[in-house]
Amino acid sequence: MKTYNVSESKFAESKKYLSGGVSSSLRASMKPVPIFAESASGTQIRDVDGNEYIDYMLAYGPLILGHSHPVLMQRIVESMQVGFTYGIQHEGEIELARLLTEVLPAAEQVAFSGSGTEAVMLALRLAKAYTGKRKVVRFHGHYHGWSDSIFTSFPSSDMSQKPLFEHESDVPPGTAGQSEGSLQDVLLLPWNEPELLEQVLRTHHQDIAAVITEPIMCNSGCIMPLPGYLENMRKWTKALGIVLIFDEVITGFRLSNGGAHGKFGIIPDLVTVGKALGGGIAISAVGGSRSIMELVESAKVSHLGTLNGNRVSTTAAITTIRELSKNNGHLYQQMEATAGKLAEGIRSLFRKHDIPGLVNQPGPMFHVMFTELTEVNHFDHFQKRDADAYTRFAELLMEEGVLVRPNGLWYVSAVHSDREVDETLKAIDRVLEQLPN
């Protein structure tokens, strides 16, 4: 039986000084307590109570090469020896920008920022400036960061299922403190409903600057787009003068070096990347067509940030991309195969224990759900899962030395191997034995 006494007392201490006791609201939801890390290496993370875990949380996605990858660490240390950040230009920015234009099909030019939230802010601003319009279509169950102009609550929490908000003030704020008017430009639609999207775009295109979408709905069930959905989205937005933004903060450098758009062969006008790009160091980027991106160059669109493009972050991103590109990107095949084995293993354990459950696995990430449904390809289906059962499952898995997010999304890194998969499946077998079916 694991104990979390030290984490518990550190959490109590933390709450005295750190608002909420954690640095990002979601982290507070970990049961039985938000654990405190002592150290991590490769696939392993150790907490302050001395408990060890195989890590599938991977810091919410960025650690695509695992913890403290030796090559990444060496390059970061070398870069720090010549200065962390300059506030003036350096060669690393050109090198990374060039590299991104080579690997991301949508990027003729790029701009750097520090987080996915900021990248989305810039992409939306560019789209509005480029089109001279102000409305943005976004979808239920997607997450695009926590800035006021797009945040409509985190997908795993309850939200209105009302399909279309006809009136400007109808999209409710996602959080206390967000002004009523912040979402006045947002049209919130269900995803994977092509007829409705087409109708809304055709009716309101004169006001719509952008459609922003996760190309795979990673934040709510790892749901794939229906066949033709993104292709049509591309076709309609292009024809109607609307900027299409793929938010690839999760899928970028996780699904492939070219992100989901590279893999699917659909080229949005703008793409946002973050998380895996830096391998665990804060960096994000917007890439897009030259005609839109040059609004930054001409200083019509302000793009700011003290630490943007700093030496450490550009080095981390260049190294991460180079590692992922080795041997024609075989690491992607390896990660996908590892995730596939794990996903299939979990499905067969659900069957063995007669527990209704499902795994959606689009790549080196997957979503595990307790649900009676045989298919989850819409946010409505995702909302029907038994979230409490999953939380309990995640808690019991921690006991067994496996660390996963309490919401069901698992990430696999380049250093997860069959050994971890076997150990994890044995742990899941023991946990499912304890769950009521």
Residues contributing to the site for ligand PLP (CB under 6 A): 115-117, 120, 143-145, 214, 219, 247, 249-250, 274
Q: Which residue is nearest to ligand PLP (CB)?
A: 116
Check if the beta carbon of residue 69 is closer than 8 Å to that of residue 415.
Answer: yes
What is the nearest approach in angstroms of ligand PLP to the Cβ of residue 321? 18
121 vs 431 by CB, closer to ligand PLP: 121
Q: Which two tokens stand for residue 157?
A: 């929490």
219 vs 256 by CB, closer to ligand PLP: 219
Question: For the stretch 7-35, what's the b/e string if a residue is b when 16 or more beta carbons lie within 10 angstroms of its beta carbon?
Answer: bbebbeebeeeeeebbeeeebeebeebbb
Question: For the stretch 89-106, what's the b/e string if a residue is b when 16 or more beta carbons lie within 10 angstroms of its beta carbon?
Answer: ebebbeebbebbbebbbb
Query: Is 4 an active-site residue?
Result: no
d(CA 435, CA 391): 12
365 vs 398 by CB, closer to ligand PLP: 365
10 vs 254 by CB, closer to ligand PLP: 254
Q: Which two tokens stand for residue 306?
A: 């003290």
Query: Is 143 an active-site residue?
Result: yes
Choose, from 53, 247, 269, 332, the residue flagged as catalytic.
247
51 vs 117 by CB, closer to ligand PLP: 117
Tell me the one-letter amino acid at 306: T
What is the nearest approach in angstroms of ligand PLP to the Cβ of residue 299? 25
Host H or E run for residue 53: strand 52-55
Measured N-to-C along each axis, helices 290-297 and 116-131 cross at an angle, to the nearest 10 degrees, of: 100
What is the nearest approach in angstroms of ligand PLP to the Cβ of residue 221? 13
Choose, from 263, 275, 332, 411, the residue flagged as catalytic.
275
Q: How many CB atoms lie under 10 A from the CB of residue 433?
A: 12
Q: Which two tokens stand for residue 289?
A: 């067509």
Catalytic residues, by residue number, are 143, 247, 275
